[in-house]
């Protein structure tokens, strides 16, 4: 291969590597070692979410970077705790507010793991949704490097609710299960009533949603019972037909036997 061709080949190979890297997307520099995050919480209650990060200085190779976080919780306190390779606490910082930045993570400090804990009050629901259930950002963490570039580490969300919305959701779940179990029956009316219940839920009319969900469940159960009754009647009619055929066949056989006796 000539020098010119080799140069062209090298440039092509380099371009291919860059293209493949771009398609693969950015590689996160930090991994989540463990988490203790609630899946749901009642509006107005106080909750705590915790995540522990490790693999702090890989991909890319960094000696130090800045940790930032945000949450939709209210009256928020963040606690960032630093640990070395032995698990001993190296340092601890506290931040207030829904957003924080400036938590320095540095290999020179001996930091091997970082635990982030956020405590706050669950916010009001801005828009209710039955499916998917309404959620809020419980904790979101970013890695910021010198120069302003950043990587998303991870984001955790949670379903939030009130007593009334939770009660309505439970009735909707029950109605949906009844409709699904009545598969094969005519559940068109039940499904329409259920759809109306979902619309009422999304519109924050929880009493109406509950009543409509109950109606939908009752309609689905009745449709299933009607289908089962019809099926039983069909089975019964089929059984009677079989009995009649057997009886007719037996009588015909007896009549033939009597005829043969007379001929004899």
CATH number for 65: 2.60.40.10
pLDDT single digits (tens) 172-190: 999 999 999 987 788 899 9
Residue at which a domain ends, from 161, 192, 217:
161
**24-33, 101-110, 144-153: which has the minimum mean pLDDT?**
24-33
* DSSP code of residue 61: T
Shared domain for 172 and 246, answered yes or no, is yes
Tell me the pTM.
0.74
Q: 65 and 128 share a domain?
A: yes
How far apart, in whole angstroms, are the C-alpha atoms of residue 65 and residue 106?
7
Q: Does 138 share its domain with 176?
A: no
Q: Given 161, 185, 201, which residue is the final one in a domain?
A: 161
For residue 150, give its domain range.
28-161
Quote the distance between the C-alpha of residue 79 and its chain's center: 28
Domain stops at, among 136, 161, 186:
161
Give the residue among 36, 60, 150, 50 at the shortest CA–CA distance from 101.
150
Over range 236-259, report the average pLDDT.
57
Within 10 Å of residue 56's Cβ, how many Cβ atoms?
21
Distance (Å, whole) CA 159 – CA 146: 35
Cα 46 to its chain centre, rounded Å, is 22
């Amino acid at each position: 291969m000539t020098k010119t061709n080799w140069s062209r080949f090298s440039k092509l190979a380099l371009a291919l590597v860059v293209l493949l890297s771009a398609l693969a997307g950015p590689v996160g520099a930090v991994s989540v070692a463990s988490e203790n995050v609630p899946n749901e919480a009642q509006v107005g209650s106080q909750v705590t979410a915790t995540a522990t990060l490790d693999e702090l200085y890989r991909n890319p190779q960094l000696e130090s970077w800045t940790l930032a976080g945000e949450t939709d919780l209210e009256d928020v306190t963040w606690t960032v705790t630093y640990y070395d390779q032995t698990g001993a606490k190296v340092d601890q910082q506290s931040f207030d507010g829904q957003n924080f930045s400036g938590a320095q993570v540095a290999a020179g400090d001996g930091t091997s793991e970082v635990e982030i804990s956020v405590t706050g009050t669950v916010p009001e629901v801005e828009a209710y949704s039955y499916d998917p259930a309404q959620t809020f950002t419980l904790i979101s963490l970013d890695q910021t490097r010198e120069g302003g570039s950043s990587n998303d580490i991870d984001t955790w969300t949670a379903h939030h609710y009130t007593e009334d919305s939770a009660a309505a959701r439970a009735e909707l779940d029950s109605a949906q299960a009844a409709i699904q179990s009545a598969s094969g029956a005519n559940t068109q009316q039940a499904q329409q009533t259920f759809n109306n219940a979902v619309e009422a839920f999304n519109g924050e009319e929880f009493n109406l949603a509950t009543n409509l969900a109950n109606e939908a469940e009752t309609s689905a159960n009745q449709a299933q019972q009607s289908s089962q009754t019809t099926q039983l009647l069909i089975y019964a009619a089929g059984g009677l037909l079989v009995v009649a055929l057997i009886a007719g066949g037996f009588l015909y056989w007896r009549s033939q036997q009597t005829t043969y006796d007379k001929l004899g």
